[in-house]
A and B are shown apart, each in its own frame.
Chain A
Amino acid sequence: MAGRVLVVTSGKGGVGKTTTTANIGAGLALLGRKVCLIDADIGLRNLDVVLGLENRIVYDLTDVVEGNCRVRQALIKDKRTDNLYLLPAAQTKEKEAVAPEQMKALCDELREDFEYVIVDCPAGIERGFKNAIAGADEAIIVTTPEVAAVRDADRIIGLLEASELYEPRLIINRIRPQMVRKGDMMGIEDIIEILAIKLLGVVPDDETIIVSTNKGEPVVMDKRSRAGQAYNNIVRRIEGLDVPFMSLEEEGLLTRLKRALLGHS
């Protein structure tokens, strides 16, 4: 088996990379895919906490690279989903301990056993970024509808091209449909027009994300959450399915009623 290696990146911090990585990983695993997540943010790891696995860590990415243990020993199995594994980042070690060639070798080793290897990239464009993208075949860029985040996304697209990662796909996170309608927030078309790349999905700003992150439970498992639905659609698009983009308009009373009565939307 030769799995796909995806990197989730953004340039700017705080736009929701880690949450996105966790949800894509959990979503793919729910579809029955064998998935390994790699936290490449050495020294500022977060993916373990988002998944609620922080107390299971014994070995980490740096241990694997330095040969203190084998990859299998460092992989942590998710507590809810059978096919989901995490390779955590080191929290107490130096970033420089890992080099891009080593990351590439690691990704290639993991893709033998997993259908998807998803790398959570640290913010910034330095060593951590170069490590994270070293072994990837495809890139997913996360941005929010803010000037600074979109600008950084543009920079990242350029850097990915320079590393021969063409055609990255975009996830626009934390859209607030009401603000867009009022003209107080850039909309999907605005951002796509500016960045000129393919859209992979749009995730509405949703309080359920905060609640699920607090619990260490990816929101994609919550079928009622709109953000969860959005991640589900993204996952199916990654799988190659043609999934229409969901309407961001709040459901009116009438549609909701209709759905309840007729059993479909």
Chain B
Amino acid sequence: MTGDIVQMGAYIGAGLACMGMGGAAVGVGNVAGNFLSGALRNPSAAPGQTATLFIGIAFAEALGIFSFLVALLLMFAV
């Protein structure tokens, strides 16, 4: 066997970090879907809440980006 087992673990971990993407997808979809269902019930109130929508999406997405960060750290820093 060639190569370093630590390196192998880091690559496997970086691949596994992609699962975080699914979590972010669920979160962003949840926020956007709930916004849409609320907006269709009361369309007149929807434009005032787009800022809240984007803040919610940004917070949900940030955790997905953290998994990307973990992947990057495993690839290049460990």
Specify whether A and B are partners: no
Interface residues of B (CB under 8 A from A): none
Interface residues of A (CB under 8 A from B): none
